[in-house]
Amino acid sequence: MNALRIATIAAVSAVATVSQAQRTTPRPTTVTPARAELTDLPSGVSEETVRAHVASPAGLSAVRTEVNDERERSYKLASAAKTFASTPHLDVSDFGLAMHSALKDKVAGYVFQVRHNGNLLHTGMWQWAQTPSDQGKGWTVDTRMHVASVSKFLTAVGMVKLLDAKGIDYDTPIIDYLPTYWLKGPKIDQITFRRLLTHKSGFSTGTSTSTYMFMRLRVAVGVPAVGSYDYENMNFGLMRILIPIINGDVSKSAMFSNDPLENSLKWDVVTLYHYRNYMQANVFSPAGVANVQFHPVSGMANALAYRLPAESGEGWNSGNLEASAGGAAWRLSVKELLNVMDHVRRRNTIIPATTAQYMLDNGFGIDQVLQSPAGKMYNKNGSWGADCVTDTNCKTEQSVAYFFPNGIEVAVFVNSPIGVEGFSLRNIVKDSYLNSLSQ
């Protein structure tokens, strides 16, 4: 239990940084009895698995994720240089050239695809998924990489599918679906599923951390208010706990041990197990995507992350990221991600197409809704790595998923910062699209 105790100390330290105003809010109470009938671990989780689990891996606190503040979310596109007499369409050849021009010589490597109604229009690949310093592997559409916060969109799809299946309104408070033994602080009863899905829960942790222990303690602290936007991994980290409870995989009143630390560790492992299985069965498998994991899968092509210039050092394997599941952690290829996007948007195999459009228009699990001459554009980006402002050795995984008008979807993976300037991948894709519209 050493790893658990270390994780708990770290989480307690993090909560100790909350503001004085939050520390003086009324102390939450618990309804959990001192002893309860113990719940068995599911058949897929052994005691050995629990003992091997690291609740709070070293290095997570140093990871920098994407910036998605209110200013960026409300970014207004500059007036398009082109004007059109009627609705324009995407010139795919121009788009491919624009993307290559923007990325070549500025990244370790990239891969992207453009699809129309799920059908392939264009594939672009350049340079290394793993440089010659490692295994010398070029990018392919089957190369998997950690998609970082694009995971939030995937989790949102799973959450919406489950809520609809159970007849639970998006404006229902989450409090009755949290573990019973958790303390619930001020205003937790005002947080709804919709507010989690749109980053308006009131949680403002100032960190990308979303480990089980950290989230439990933040819920105990409570929030000062709900309704204001604050981009938090924790909003989607909570969903990997809520999904197994709502789906009936684990009772919210379950107690796996009378030892509080061991009980939390087992809750962590059990909910991860059920969340992963639910997402595989209900989001990935319907799109024909198999064996999606939180870690690189042996025998499959996997990208490493690099700093620039990429040739000057070995790549970084971000490893098993299950502690950040929900808001991050999924590993997919560009082809697999676009398969899921296709099935979500139009195939009715995961959720109805009308529900998918509702999600996009209401900002569930995405970052931006932008207007273009061709219609609305929706995006979700992800970035995972060291802070390039403070660390010149920063190595970065970046991805972006775009739903463009007229049935166009684009997914792009880049395994380094973009130039020394650290250009925005999301804006490169957006600008390339706008500049490639044609009558």
Residue recorded with tokens 């672009």: 124
- Is residue 287 in some structural domain? no
Last residue in a domain, options 280, 308, 330? 280
Residues 301 and 385 in one domain: yes
User: Measured between alpha carbons, how far is 100 from 80 in angstroms, rounded to an integer?
Assistant: 21
**How many domains, in total, are found in the chain?**
2
Displacement of CA 290 from its chain's centroid (Å):
19
Do 133 and 258 share a domain, yes or no? no
Taking the model in full, what pTM does it have?
A: 0.90
How many CB atoms neighbour CB 333 within 10 A?
25
pLDDT at 9: 39
With helix as H, strand as E and coil as C, how does 118-150 read? CEEEEEEEEEEEECCCCCCEECCCCCEEECCCH
Strands (E), 208-282: none
What separation in angstroms does the CA of 376 have from each of 40, 77, 379? Answer: 49, 12, 10
The CA dihedral of 45, 47, 49, 53, to the nearest 10 degrees, is 120
pLDDT digits (tens, 9 = 90+) for 287-343: 999 999 999 999 999 999 999 887 778 999 999 999 999 999 999 999 999 999 999
What's residue 26's pLDDT? Answer: 54
**CA-derived radius of gyration, the chain:** 22
Q: Are residues 266 and 179 in the same domain?
A: yes
Whether 214 maps to a domain, the answer reads yes
Would you state the structure tokens that stand for residue 100, as one six-digit string?
């290559």
User: Does residue 288 fall inside a structural domain?
Assistant: no
Q: Is residue 285 part of a domain?
A: no
Residue numbers of the domain that contains 122: 70-151+293-438
**Cross-strand bridge partners of residue 126:** 110
Is 384 domain-assigned? yes
Same domain, 170 and 255: yes
Predicted confidence at residue 390, as pLDDT, reads 58
How is residue 335 written in tokens? 């082809």
Residues 335 and 269 in one domain: no
Residue 74: per-residue pLDDT: 45
The token pair at 225 is 């208010």
Q: Which residues of 337-349 are buried (b: 16+ CB within 10 A; e: fewer)?
A: bbbbbbbbbebee
Where is the domain boundary, 234, 258, 280? 280
Q: Which residues of the chain have pLDDT under 70?
A: 1-36, 59, 61-62, 64-81, 386-393
Q: Is 316 helix (H, G, I), strand (E, B) or coil?
A: strand
Cα 265 from chain centroid? 22
Six token digits for residue 77: 């596109």
Average pLDDT, the chain: 89
Judgement on whether residues 311 and 404 belong to the same structural domain of the protein: yes
Residue 394's pLDDT is 82
Identify whether residues 128 and 166 lie together within a single domain. Answer: no
**What is residue 312's predicted lDDT score, i.e. its pLDDT?**
73
Are 14 and 76 found together in one domain?
no
SS3 (DSSP) at 332: strand
Residue 107 maps to a domain: yes
The alpha carbon dihedral of 203, 208, 210, 211 has a sign of negative
Which residue spans within 97-227 are E strands per DSSP? Answer: 109-116, 119-130, 137-138, 144-146
> 286 lies in a domain?
no
Q: Is 9 helix (H, G, I), strand (E, B) or coil?
A: helix
Angle of the 334-342 helix axis to the 150-166 helix axis, nearest 10: 30
Do 171 and 300 lie in a common domain? no
What the block records as the tokens of 393 is: 């050795």
Residue 27 lies in a domain: yes
Statement to judge: residues 78 and 172 lie in one domain = no
* C-alpha–C-alpha distance, residues 423 and 400, integer Å: 13
Helix (H/G/I), strand (E/B), else coil: 369? strand
Of the candidates 132, 186, 142, which has an alpha carbon nearest to the alpha carbon of residue 312?
132
Domain boundary among 257, 280, 303: 280
Closest residue by Cα to residue 212 from 237, 243, 249? 237
Residue 138 and residue 25 share a domain: no
Q: Based on the fold, state whether residues 352 and 266 are members of the same structural domain.
A: no
pLDDT of residue 13: 43
Among candidates 109, 81, 303, 268, which has minimal Cα distance to 181?
A: 268
422: domain CATH number? 3.40.710.10
pLDDT of residue 311: 74
